[in-house]
Amino acid sequence: MSVFQLKTTHPGKHFTIEQANQLKNRYSPEQKRRLAEATKGFESLLTSMMLKSMNKTSGGMFGENSLGGDYFDTIFESELASYIAHGKGLGISKLLYKKLTGESINSIPPMIKPEKFNNLKKLKINTKEFQLPSINPSESSLKRLQKYDKFINEAADKFQIDKNLIKSVILTESAGKEKALSKANAKGLMQLMDATANQLGVKNVWNPKENILGGTKYLASLLRQYSGDINLALAGYNAGPGNVEKHNGVPPFLETKNYISRVLGYLKYFNG
């Protein structure tokens, strides 16, 4: 009779304590938050694809011949997928995050809690690096924006930020459209990602008041983090604080540079 040797383990497949600690120290708290957001976004996208495939076999959630069924199916699939991914989910994001960091996704450090913001109305703008173009918003976008004046003023007072800066960010992010949805699944007036909205305490990202308060809270935390430097705060809002840290300043991304110039252009318009 032949003797079989069963290989029950492989040391290379397991983390040592030292390797686990190296993984934990590999990413900054902000990078960990972004990784968590990315893994949840991936799970949401995968879940949405699964739902879409299921709907095709059943004629859609609203029926094959329903008016606008395709559009509402897409919205419903996206929302349901996001809800699943940011709830208990399928476990995909947890596995990916664990593989990347060696930690549980539930151990992500909290964001800066902006409770008191001093002198944030005294913004620092580096005009040598960025021109201040004159941008005239369209009448339609200004009309949309006007509907949210009450919420914008409330957010400006609560977080001590110039209301015109909030308006400028909203116009740049969504053109004042409360149902704006980007390809990256950023939502609402100030284009919040689901993970970011969740960390900011935004329960309903489609609610204009919650969205504006959440986005302003995040912007305020960035302004505080960068000592009122509006260029760095806007870069962090657009490209993430991790990229600002990585490049020790505004990242060399054309999209981010155009984003900052556009916000500053609207700010110049509002400030006269």
- Active-site option among 37, 43, 173, 210: 173
How many angstroms separate the CA atoms of 89 and 86, rounded? 6
Q: Return the number of other C-beta atoms located less than 10 Å from residue 186's C-beta.
A: 18
Residues in the chain with pLDDT < 70? Answer: 1-30, 51, 55-90, 106-133
The count of domains in the chain is: 2
Residue 216 CA: distances (Å) to CA of 177, 241, 263: 16, 16, 14
Does residue 143 sit in the same domain as residue 261? yes
Does residue 37 sit in the same domain as residue 156? no
Does residue 103 sit in the same domain as residue 145? no
pLDDT at position 82: 60
pLDDT at position 147: 96
pLDDT at position 57: 67
Does residue 246 sit in the same domain as residue 170? yes
pLDDT at position 43: 76
- Among candidate residues 64, 89, 107, the one where a domain is terminated: 107
Residue 126, in any domain of the structure: no
How many angstroms separate the CA atoms of 234 and 248, rounded? 14
Whether residue 173 lies in the annotated active site: yes
Write out pLDDT tens, residues 243-255. Answer: 998 888 999 999 9
How many angstroms separate the CA atoms of 117 and 56, rounded? 51
Give yes or no for a contact between 160 and 170, defined as CB atoms under 8 angstroms apart. no
Residue 158, in any domain of the structure: yes
pTM of the model as a whole: 0.59
Does residue 210 sit in the same domain as residue 252? yes
Token pair belonging to 202: 């935004």
Answer positive or negative: Cα dihedral of 195, 201, 203, 204. Answer: negative
pLDDT at position 168: 95
Token pair belonging to 135: 């941008």
pLDDT at position 97: 78
Backbone angles phi, psi at 237, to 5 degrees: -65, -40
Residues 6+ apart with CB under 8 A from 99: none
Give yes or no for a contact between 236 and 219, defined as CB atoms under 8 angstroms apart. no
pLDDT at position 123: 59
- Among candidate residues 66, 88, 107, the one where a domain is terminated: 107
Token pair belonging to 265: 């252009």
pLDDT at position 9: 46
How many angstroms separate the CA atoms of 96 and 94, rounded? 6
- Among candidate residues 107, 123, 158, the one where a domain is terminated: 107
Enclosing domain of residue 103: 11-107
